A and B are shown apart, each in its own frame.
Chain A
């Protein structure tokens, strides 16, 4: 039971960090797109 709970916590942390990285990745994509648009 304890191993299962620990695994859930580790996966939970991984999911939360992934969410943060997704936010950053999309923001970077916006930066790339806007840079390309304004360079034209």
Chain B
């Protein structure tokens, strides 16, 4: 029998959702300040209007649903899934007010693409977007990478015991420090340290390439935020191709790889356990899968003979590949070139890379390296069970910060999430085909959306059908949250309708 949710459940969810919304709304002060500093009055007003709407909405929820009770698991998960939807709807308001998005749905698409660190874009005339709006696009990517609920918790809301459920709900099941708030703050420490270093490096490269210092550092901070958080937005419509610079590509490639590393691994390496980078199952799996998928891509490109020199092959082939594998979505190709120049095998290589993703507890999406490693180890374990005598005790270990025994429930969980991702990739591809796109291109775009990558072969554009836009929004949302909180929300809705 399904039990109908109590009013108390709804009040608890509403109260904490309101708190998260207020916390997120305050982030809109940053583009307001930037806009005023750069004398962009209109854009600043857009953000002030959006800020007011968001704060009023958040305050209403906290007043109407006031409670002093902590969240339970179900409520925490639902708060997370609703908070991401609320962030999309509210974060899209200033984008829509700018006039650079054809409809509010398009603005919502880009807001979800930003928060989920995907990087697919529907903006019009991006090259003439204000600094404040451009900064907001990249800031939401940075916040989404850290986990928007966790940001609200760690900076704007006092700690409470339900914090861990929300942390898990945002697909971060690894606790780095004893409590969630200090874990969130360590994640911020890593991000801020790399933000400073990355912005300086990209700013310096920009100046050497002839950009004005203000522009170079503005581009530097925006590109860093989207690269480290494996997002993929850039201030210009031509993406990384705009810079025409090997140095810019090299620095962003390094940042993308750093962004694909587990924050728990960052912690242990920064605490002095440097050997972990070689021993860890995730970094080993990432290294191997990058090489395998790049080999497939490079062989395909060589068969076509479009990049005759090794350097050109590396710059074009590896850059798109690593961008896809880390879930960033930076491109040094026009989207149509995937179709016209690359052909089937290179696209299959990139699809595989996108589907696999980076490390767990990083800012990447997709299946992720820990699960790939665990499934591979489980496969070896099963082969051993077949080969060895029946009485033999088969024990499989893997190293992730410490040496762990592979338990069946761990392998089962990894397989289930992997299966859910594969189904999501497939369903999106079917919807793409329903609108007349070919299987390979539909699968490419669907995998890119669901794995929060952002590479596009041209299907994603403002003229695509609204149903396809909504499909990709759902894929980005479910893919970023790794399903559990989304399934909990669906279960809650079913219980509200059918429960007794």
Give the secondary structure class of B's interface.
helix
Establish whether residues A28 and B314, one from each chain, have CB atoms under 8 Å apart when the complex forms. Answer: yes
Contact residues of B between 276 and 307, Cβ < 8 Å to A: 277, 283, 286-287, 290-291, 294-295, 298-299, 302-303, 305
Establish whether residues A30 and B298, one from each chain, have CB atoms under 8 Å apart when the complex forms. Answer: yes
Establish whether residues B283 and A35, one from each chain, have CB atoms under 8 Å apart when the complex forms. Answer: no
- Contact residues in A for B309 (Cβ distance below 8 Å): 35
Complex Cα gap A5–B302 (Å) = 47
**B193 CB–A CB distance under 8 Å:** yes
Using CB atoms, name the residue of chain B closest to A35.
Answer: B310
Using CB atoms, name the residue of chain A closest to B301.
Answer: A34
| Given known A9-B270, A12-B270, A15-B277, contact A31–B254 (CB-CB < 8 A) | no
- Contact residues in A for B321 (Cβ distance below 8 Å): 27
Contact residues of A between 6 and 25, Cβ < 8 Å to B: 8-9, 11-13, 15-17, 19-24
CB distance from B293 to the nearest CB of A (A): 10
Using CB atoms, name the residue of chain B closest to A16.
Answer: B258
- Contact residues in A for B294 (Cβ distance below 8 Å): 27, 30
Establish whether residues B313 and A11, one from each chain, have CB atoms under 8 Å apart when the complex forms. Answer: no
**A1 CB–B CB distance under 8 Å:** no
CB distance from A13 to the nearest CB of B (A): 7
Establish whether residues A27 and B314, one from each chain, have CB atoms under 8 Å apart when the complex forms. Answer: yes
Contact residues of B between 243 and 292, Cβ < 8 Å to A: 250, 253-254, 257-258, 261, 266, 269-272, 274, 277, 283, 286-287, 290-291
A-B contact pairs, 5 of them (CB 8 A): A8-B270, A20-B254, A27-B294, A27-B318, A35-B302
Chain A residues in the interface with B (C-beta under 8 A): 8-9, 11-13, 15-17, 19-24, 26-28, 30-32, 34-38
Chain B residues in the interface with A (C-beta under 8 A): 193-194, 197, 250, 253-254, 257-258, 261, 266, 269-272, 274, 277, 283, 286-287, 290-291, 294-295, 298-299, 302-303, 305, 308-311, 313-314, 317-318, 321-322
